[in-house]
Amino acid sequence: MAPPPHRRPGFSRKAQYGLFATYVIAIAGTVVAALLLIISVADPTGFAALRTVGAEITAPIARFFNNIRRSSNEIGSNMSAYLDAASKNAALTKEVAASRTKLIEARALKVENARLRGILKLKEEMSEQIAVGRIISSTASSTRRVATLSIGTNYGVERAQPVRGPAGLIGRVIETGPTTARILLITDAENFVPVMRVKDGLPAFSAGLGNGLVVIKPLNLGESPFKVGDIIVTSGNGGLYQPNIPFARVIRKTNDGALARPLADPSNSPYAVVMRAYQAEARKAQQAVAPDGMVKEVTE
Amino acid sequence: MKNPVTAIRLPLRPGREYESRFDREQSTLKMLAIPIASVVMASMITTLPIYAPLPILPPFGFLMFLAWRLMRPGLLPVWSGVPFGLTDDIFSGQPFGSAGLLWSLAMLTIEIIDSRAIWRDHIQDWLIAALLTIATLLGGLWITAMAHAASHPSILLPQIILSILLYPLVVRICARLDSWRLAT
């Protein structure tokens, strides 16, 4: 179809000036948007309040649909559980017998661990868990991997607290609202996590790729020491993340590291646990003596 | 004698049948609210519980905005990219101002195209929308890269393809909304 001839609005001066004014407003608006963008690039937390308001407004809808989604998932899994009940029963019985001995060994190790900790006078950190919530939405159309949690400051959630699911680490809190919080997922390209290989404690760093995978880079140079199937856990280096949270599984070896798939799948986690930042008090004490200078404590 | 009840009708619009059938006016509220509400609600789709390991959800707000602009030229003013874009920024997770800038630039680009090409058909609109979607998604990634560490542009490929393929569907939705908007 042809566009309407609004380009030449006739001989009316008023109409001509009106048309001219829309172009002026459009260009001025573009410049204003560019300025806002420069501000938000310089200070990424600057417009957090606006985003929080947006998340708070839409959170009830997201919670509602999340409940529907979860209950329909449960119906599906219940039905499939009925279908292969007999074979599953046999497999589970075998598995219970196999894991019973392992469980006894683990209990013994736990006792021994407590005794050794007592000898070394290591203080147990305070209870790690702050609150339990659910992930209710994620930025599925942006290249940033940010998810929304169903709880906020009403449950004591604060910035820079790690969040984990039953299967492993999910991410950390970057913005909080009254009843929602935003989590930077471990698959975001900006989220660096100190990790180690579980079998020998090989220290490494993880960075998100933005496509659901993370890249694991060892601290030492040379050929990549990883093998497909290696399990990666958090190392607790530098605080923030508790050590030994399950993190990822290596799926491919690269020249200088490995590609790994996170163990926690935020879409299928029944709940998300907000944890106390690891060694937060030590970090605070250190900051009081020697602050990080111009660098902010947690940059996003 | 009473009339027998032949059909049960919901009393949705009582007395509507007795109104004049011609020379009705469209509701001004409906005419204004439907385009605005449809674009804002399409932007808010990201707040639904949709999880994706990579950015795969098409930018529905932008597609809806383009569909209104290309289907009904002159309906949305030239400056409307800024307020719609800033609304989208609240929900998208991009740095605030990114869509405000990109949508406004897209609007100005269409305005320039409109002044060059006079006659257009749906395929040409689709092509324009496809090119603008690619430019906007890449621009969004570039802006994210300025503020934060960003991923490789190749992860945008599935989202770009999906957005281009879904554009005709968005135009259909937009056309339905338009006929509802203009219905008397």
pLDDT by residue for chain A (300 residues), tens digit each? Answer: 555 555 666 788 888 888 888 889 999 999 999 999 888 888 777 787 888 888 888 888 888 887 787 777 777 777 777 777 888 888 888 888 888 888 888 888 888 888 887 777 765 555 678 888 888 888 888 888 888 888 988 888 888 889 988 888 999 998 888 888 989 999 888 888 999 988 888 899 999 888 888 999 998 877 888 889 888 999 888 888 888 888 999 999 888 889 999 988 877 777 888 988 887 777 777 777 766 554 555 544
Domain locations along chain A: 84-124, 192-271
Domain count, chain B: 1
- The tokens describing A151, both together, are 């709880």
Provide the number of CB pairs (under 8 Å) joining chain A to chain B.
Answer: 194
- Cβ separation A138–B52 shorter than 8 A: yes
Of the partner residues A50, A66, A208, the one whose CB lies closest to the CB of residue B90? A50
ipTM at complex level: 0.78
Backbone angles phi, psi at A192, to 5 degrees: -100, 135
Cα first-last separation, chain B? 36
- Cβ separation B92–A142 shorter than 8 A: yes
Long-range contacts at B149-158 (CB < 8 A, ≥ 24 apart) = B149/A189, B149/A190, B149/A207, B150/A143, B150/A189, B150/A210, B151/A143, B151/A189, B151/A208, B151/A209, B151/A210, B151/A211, B152/A209, B152/A210, B155/A143, B155/A209, B155/A210, B155/A211, B155/B54, B155/B55, B156/A143, B156/B55, B158/B54, B158/B56
CATH topology of domain A192-271: Thrombin, subunit H (2.40.10)
- Cβ separation B54–A212 shorter than 8 A: yes
- Cβ separation A36–B86 shorter than 8 A: yes
For residue B11, is it within any domain?
no
Residue A194, number of CB atoms within 10 A of its CB? 18
Considering only CB atoms, which chain A residues are within 8 Å of B115? 7
User: Could you tell me which chain A residue has the CA closest to the CA of B136?
Assistant: A142
For residue B8, is it within any domain?
no
Whether residue A273 lies within 8 A of chain B, CB to CB, comes out as no
pTM for the model: 0.78
Full domain range(s) for residue B93: 26-182
For residue B99, is it within any domain?
yes
| Residues B99, B105, B111, B113, CA torsion sign | negative
- Cβ separation B140–A136 shorter than 8 A: no
Which of B40, B47, B82, B142 to probe the A interface (max A CBs under 10 A)? B47
Q: What is the distance between the alpha carbons of residues B43 and A27, in angstroms, rounded to a whole number?
A: 23
- Cβ separation B144–A50 shorter than 8 A: no
For residue B9, is it within any domain?
no
